[in-house]
Chain A
Amino acid sequence: MMLKIENLHAGIDGKEILKGINLEVGAGEVHAIMGPNGSGKSTMSNVLVGHPSYIVTQGKVTFKDKDLLAMSAEERSHQGLFMSFQYPVEIPGVSMTNFMRTAINEKRKALGKQPLSPTDFLKLIKEKRDLVKLDSKFMNRSVNEGFSGGEKKRNEIFQMAMLEPSLSILDETDSGLDIDALRIVADGVNRLKSPETSVIVITHYQRLLDYIKPDIVHVLYQGRIIKTAGPELALELEERGYDWVIKEYEDSLK
């Protein structure tokens, strides 16, 4: 099992947002988490990657047989957890190359490996840039500084490719992307898929799921997963909206 979430309760600023999440993601699977605004999608991804502002009050998360919640954000990353940010952060004065080299070598260090040689590092960069069609000029620029919305998202997938995570969470990766950028990003994600890696796609819309085909679709509502089904659910949500799922759920509580 890649990821197992059991009865996860978490919140921010003393307000509980996740109210008992249960979710299992197997190796090689693609899961989509959909839901209306404010349902807790972003909280869930932030809690999983260990954002310090979010507090877990109850529950357990196991990632590749390890206690995920006991790890720091950087340890989670070293263990193979990656999140593509909805709003990638600009870091003036830190070049992409320096940033990437540090990230890669810190991960290698944590796993007891030698740092990558400069030649191998450059080779790796070249290979992964091609995957998302990211121009080499970006490597000398500061991280995300002055990147367009599409370039930022491509940069996220580039970093994902560089770090070779076992579980990637794509948090609203489609927001702010035009159709061409969306294709490039989705294409990159698809080419990184393998039987050993899993993806959680968090999205409000069906659009991205046309390109990254999920195996399983979940609906998150008021901090709980209220429905789980196959990929056809995404299409149905696109057509009919969320109201019917919510009604179904509320009826089931009666």
Chain B
Amino acid sequence: MMPVHNYIDIFGQNRALIDKGSAGVMNALRDKALESLMRYGLPHKGLEEYLHTDVATWFEPDWGMNLSRIDMHVDKAQAFKCNVPNLSTLLYFLANDEFAASDTAAKASLPDGVFIGSLREAANRHPEIVDAYYGRLADMNRPGIAAINTMFAQDGMMIYVPDGVTIDKPLQLVTLLHSPVDLMVNRRILVVLGRGAQLKLLLCDHALTANGFLTTQVVEVFAGSESRFELYDLEETHNSNLRVSELYINQDADSQAEIDYVTLHNGKTRNSVFSTFAGRGSNLSLNGIATVDKEQHVDNMTFVDHRLSDCTSTELFKYVLNDSATGAFAGKVLVRHGAQHTVSEQTNRNICLTRQARMFTQPQLEIYADDVKCSHGATVGQLDEKAMFYMRQRGIPEAEARMMLMQAFVGEVIGRVALEPLRDRLNRLVEKRFRGELSQCEGCRACR
């Protein structure tokens, strides 16, 4: 058992080591984070937001932490060979939390002023920039994992795209969990897009070794006015993997963002999204797919803050749950006083394939403006028996008919993915998943 004070002790005893393996700007926030952890503790199921996912218990085992940053000798090239047809990316790695660029990405010539690299390195080389953004969105005044992540995170990735710059190729950050023992990893990603900047980022979360992992991931995104940002966060790990992530996005005026979460294979996962419209005329497309079986668990929580007028948010999350898997979705849309002409649409649809599978869904809409168009809805059901029989009558065997119906079900979400080559890959990955061919994480299938 590792109650929260054990983490506080570990932090106190290893403070010098943590700081040494990181950078000044990151170290500067640790005391504030410690205060927050002491005040709020770890998020547990006594809190409404964590009712179905008792994250605090995930911290109970005696996780190893690589605070002295011992080289784990992850052979990234070996572990990961990318040869996706039609999807050419700038490829980067986080081996646990250690940043590395692929050879081609390292050699790629990037537009002036662009920084893509290790967060620790960014904090050392450009402290004024990192200081202006790091930890500014992650909310430590409430229970969550931002505090413990900020206490222990030593590295991660930083992307800075100046005004008017478009990065044509999608960036692909492959996170490779690799360890000889059960390991806790705290990683941090910071994205800053200037006015009119454009960026596509694909995160592929993998576990290369079969031992247990607990990952905390905090992503902060500053999307400048008229910027365009796409984030695809794809998890394909294994049953002993626990992942808790928080994403904070702040969108300035007339910006566009798409954020998609795909949980293809996992152990237990909690993803939280906090989105704020800080300027008018912006829109956000926020989507998710979860395909879970056995004892797997996925919980997506989204909070969309329509603070200003004339913004649009559309959300579509779909889950397919098999065996004894459980899922949760809580989506809150807040339309504040004065946020007129808000358009908001939130949908969560779920299929439970067995009697044992469970889904908890809680769409929430809070509106304090009168000239808005908002809708939300949630369903939990089974595959359409009528459709199944119709297909069988035409000669499609039952198992194949089920496959096609499941595929069609999540296909609606895939159809919203802006990055076309990824859409094709996702269709194939989901099909493989349903056919039971993705029973283990085997490196980045998105790219094979």
Contacts and interface: CB of A to CB of B under 8 A. Distances in A.
A88 B386 CA distance: 9
A52 B389 contact: yes
15 contacts: A72-B398, A74-B392, A74-B395, A77-B395, A85-B393, A89-B384, A89-B389, A91-B390, A94-B408, A99-B391, A99-B404, A102-B396, A103-B396, A142-B408, A159-B394
Nearest to B398: A74
A102 B390 contact: no
Contacts of B412: 92-93
Interface residues of A, number: 30
Interface string B356-399: 00000000000000000000000000001011011111111110
A128 B123 CA distance: 66
A74 B389 contact: no
Nearest to A92: B408
Contacts of B395: 74, 77-78, 103-104, 106-107, 110, 163
A51 B390 contact: no
Contacts of A90: 387
Contact of B405 (A72, A73, A94, A104): A94
A83 interface: yes
B389 A51 contact: yes
B379 to A, nearest CB: 13
B33 to A, nearest CB: 45
A239 B397 CA distance: 44
B409 A74 contact: no
A51 B398 CA distance: 12
B405 A106 contact: no
A94 B409 CA distance: 9
A2 B239 CA distance: 54
B103 interface: no
Interface in A38-54: 49-52
A91 B398 contact: no
Closest 7 CB pairs of A and B: A93-B408, A77-B395, A89-B390, A73-B392, A103-B394, A107-B395, A94-B408
A103 B395 CA distance: 5
Given A89-B386, A91-B387, A106-B400, A77 B405 contact: no
A105 B215 CA distance: 45
A104 B391 CA distance: 11
Contacts of A98: 404
Interface in A58-95: 72-74, 77-78, 82-83, 85, 88-94
Contacts of A89: 384, 386-387, 389-390
A171 to B, nearest CB: 11
Contacts of B398: 72, 74
B411 interface: yes
A98 B405 CA distance: 12
B411 to A, nearest CB: 5
A73 B393 contact: yes
B391 A91 contact: yes
Contacts of B407: 93
A57 to B, nearest CB: 20
A83 B407 CA distance: 25
B400 A102 contact: yes
